[in-house]
Amino acid sequence: MSLTIFDIAKEAGVSTTTISRVLAGSSKVKNSTREKVLRVIEKHHYEPSEVARNLTARKTNTIGLIIDEISNPFFVDIASAVEEILQTRNFMLMLSSSQWKEEREFSIVRNMIRQRVEGLLIAPINPDSPAVDFLDKRNIPFVLLNSYSTKFSADCVTTDNIAGGYLAGSHLVKQDIEQLLLITGYTHQSIDDRVEGFYAAVSEAKNRSLSVSRYENINTYKDGYSLATILMVRNSISTKKSGIFVTNDNVAMGLLDGLLEQRVQVPETVQLVGYDNIDFAARYKIPLTTVSQSRNEMGKIAALELLAKIENHGKEQRVLKLPPKLIIRQSTRGENP
């Protein structure tokens, strides 16, 4: 295996303490000694073991990031921002994905605790999942991403999804439409909040009474695509002016493609609002009106928050809900404010 500090000490004819001092850049080493030691170190490309160091120091300079799936575009921006911050602070990043399975999420958390990560950034499947409960029980600093807990006093950084749903809803009710449709996917706190905000906007539009039909469990691009024909039959959307809120851009694009395929006029007959403002939303066939979250900022803030908690143990709880923004494009007819 690789050399140890002991080997280097022997070859340099000094004690391990001296090697350690040189490694630490201590000034209390005679110059000639230091140079002799450095020569030996370089000769063998010796790199000290952080494993051993971590054991002595009782810290690892590592944090864990747990997300649902790596291919979730949401994750990419978060992770990117997080990693950028960590590099400036000399922290390492341990990454794992829960694949939407609570047992897996839980086991990852336990694993990371065993690895003695100094803190955890987690986008939980559910803010009351056993994993979060476990973290809460232990004294590990952690920050929730894209969720907030009503049960634990957990720090979190997320978007104000109620406000986001409200933005989508109030934009649509202002349009010239006869009915509203709400399309949702996987159950998740963030989605529930969007729905809540959406309904709040609808019920505030007192001047008119609009029906809302909801379709649940529409999760993928393909699901969205297939939904188009169903909506034509069940909601006559090819003739009845409709406003549709899809709680996820990817699905919204599927629905949009389905609608275009069926020659439904967008935005003349159907107006569509998505959620996320993913990269391609702006350049899609019909650019998509959507609600934008600043994911990069979320990642940055969460990472900084976590590092602050790690350093400064007594930090109070912070719940941060960043304001979303409505981006009006050609899939609806409103003007950008």
Partner DNA sequence: TTGAAAGCGATACCAA
Partner DNA sequence: TTGGTATCGCTTTCAA
Binding site for DNA (CB under 7 A): 1, 3-6, 13-21, 23-24, 27-30, 32-33, 48-49, 51-53, 55-58
Beta-bridge mates of residue 273: 245, 289
Shortest spacing between CB 277 and a copy of itself, in angstroms: 15
322 near a copy of itself (CB under 8 A): no
Q: Which two tokens stand for residue 36?
A: 């002799």
* 95: exposed, middle or buried (Cβ count in 10 Å: 0-12, 13-18, 19+): middle
What residues between 175 and 234 interact with a copy of itself by CB under 8 A?
none
What, of DNA, a copy of itself, none, does residue 88 touch, CB below 5 to 8 Å by kind?
Answer: none
What residues between 232 and 291 interact with a copy of itself by CB under 8 A?
253, 257, 280, 283-285
Place of tokens 């950034």: 121
Q: Strand 289-292 and strand 325-327: pairing?
A: antiparallel
Coil, strand or helix at 173: helix
76 near a copy of itself (CB under 8 A): yes
Nearer to DNA among residue 33 and residue 126 (C-beta): 33
139 near a copy of itself (CB under 8 A): yes
What, of a copy of itself, DNA, none, does residue 28 touch, CB below 5 to 8 Å by kind?
Answer: DNA
114 near a copy of itself (CB under 8 A): yes
Which residues does 67 contact at the CB level (< 8 Å), separation at least 6? Answer: 74, 75, 78, 79, 95, 97, 98, 122, 123, 145
What, of a copy of itself, DNA, none, does residue 211 touch, CB below 5 to 8 Å by kind?
Answer: none
Residue 141: alpha-carbon gap to chain centroid = 18
What, of a copy of itself, DNA, none, does residue 21 touch, CB below 5 to 8 Å by kind?
Answer: DNA
Q: How far is CA 309 from CA 153, 159, 164, in A?
A: 14, 21, 29
Which residues does 14 contact at the CB level (< 8 Å), separation at least 6? Answer: 33, 36, 37
Q: Which residues bind a copy of itself (CB under 8 A)?
A: 1-2, 45, 47-52, 54-55, 58, 60, 62, 69-71, 76-77, 79-80, 83, 87, 92-97, 104, 110-111, 113-116, 134, 137-139, 253, 257, 280, 283-285
